Amino acid sequence: MNKLVPLTILLMACFGCAAVEAQVDRDQNSQAPCVVVAGAVHSPMRFELKRRPVKVLEALAFAGGPTQRASGTIKLIRTGEPCYQEAWAHKVWPDHRLEVTELAFADIQRGTESANPYLKAGDVVLVVESDPIYVSGSVATPRAIYFKHVPSLLNAIALAGGSLGVTGDTEVVIFRAGDDRGYKELVRINLSELNKHPKRSPLLHATDIIYLGTAGNLVPQKSPPRFDSPPFDYRPASPSVNRARNGIAIL
């Protein structure tokens, strides 16, 4: 995640470029050519292409730069539409084939020209979010956990507020996705024994599902759970970039 810091500096430097205006989404002209920036950015937005071509890095600057949940990958999706607003509304994609190109933050930092292409009307710049770990069952706050350094099993339980109602029968199960993306039970551990020997706490993988419960009440996990509580992200927030004034973002 340290790779995002130099990129943030690059994004802030973009504001020293020649003045360019982009209209922030106000639904004033649904047919005007526009670009959507979504995913792991501080301010997901739609803006109209007005005065000159805009590159990917500039579009990220308009949207406040990547958050600490950014995985390091950007998907540039060419929809072939003048202004694809359905992406802004998180609905369906067009029914025709889309051109999708994966770009890397690291390549943008190195100044690789092909990693920072000019955008076309209808493009969607999707900053891919990193995969979390899911903790559910008998914990204080079931939630998704985003991490900078891979946590151990006990660390993940602590970040979810700790276990509730622990008895000698309380067990922890790690479910891990296989090559077919289906979840299978990886390991089952007695929580009391694990607390006695914390050095035995295994390291987790992104997308792991951790479930706590008594031996007779453990629920098989087939897919990541959905939580009402916000995801827990203990990584420091990256500096935000100043943007819209009176509805106009100025680069």
Task: In whole angstroms, give the CA distance from residue 198 to residue 202.
Answer: 9
Predicted pLDDT at 11? 52
Q: What is the mean pLDDT of residues 186-198?
A: 93
Together in a domain, 137 and 113: no
Domain end among 130, 154, 170:
130
Predicted pLDDT at 247? 34
Task: State the virtual CA torsion across 249, 89, 65, 134 in degrees, nearest 10.
Answer: 160
The partner residues of 70 in beta bridges, in order of sequence, read 129
Together in a domain, 10 and 81: yes
Sequence-separated (6 or more) residues with CB below 8 Å from residue 193: none
Together in a domain, 94 and 189: no
Together in a domain, 176 and 101: no
Tokens of 120: 């076309």
Is the Cβ–Cβ distance between 192 and 168 less than 8 Å? Answer: yes
Together in a domain, 174 and 97: no
pLDDT digits (tens, 9 = 90+) for 133-156: 999 999 999 988 887 678 999 999
Is the Cβ–Cβ distance between 115 and 107 less than 8 Å? Answer: yes
Domain end among 107, 130, 153:
130
The DSSP code for 199 is: G
Query: What's the total number of domains in the chain?
Result: 2
Together in a domain, 88 and 170: no
Of 147-151, 233-237, 243-247, least confident by mean pLDDT is 243-247
Domain end among 102, 130, 158:
130
Together in a domain, 17 and 126: yes
Instruction: Supply the CATH number for residue 76's domain.
Output: 3.10.560.10
Together in a domain, 99 and 185: no
Together in a domain, 116 and 150: no
Task: In whole angstroms, give the CA distance from residue 185 to residue 180.
Answer: 14
Instruction: Supply the CATH number for residue 207's domain.
Output: 3.10.560
The answer to whether residue 147 sits within a structural domain is yes
Predicted pLDDT at 237? 37
Together in a domain, 219 and 106: no
Task: In whole angstroms, give the CA distance from residue 224 to residue 217.
Answer: 18
Together in a domain, 108 and 162: no
Of 15-19, 197-201, 208-212, 225-229, least confident by mean pLDDT is 15-19
Domain that residue 115 falls in: 4-130
Which long-range contacts link 142-145 to residues 24+ away (Cβ below 8 Å)? 142/225, 142/227, 142/229, 143/227, 143/229, 143/230, 143/231, 143/232, 144/224, 144/227, 144/231, 144/232, 145/231, 145/232, 145/233, 145/234
The answer to whether residue 239 sits within a structural domain is no
Which stretches of the chain are assigned E, i.e. beta strand? 21-23, 34-39, 45-48, 70-78, 99-104, 123-129, 133-137, 143-146, 170-177, 183-190, 209-214, 232-233, 248-250
Dump the DSSP string for 155-185: HHHHHTT-BSS--TTEEEEEEEE-TTS-EEE
Together in a domain, 96 and 149: no
The answer to whether residue 15 sits within a structural domain is yes
Q: What is the mean pLDDT of residues 190-209?
A: 93
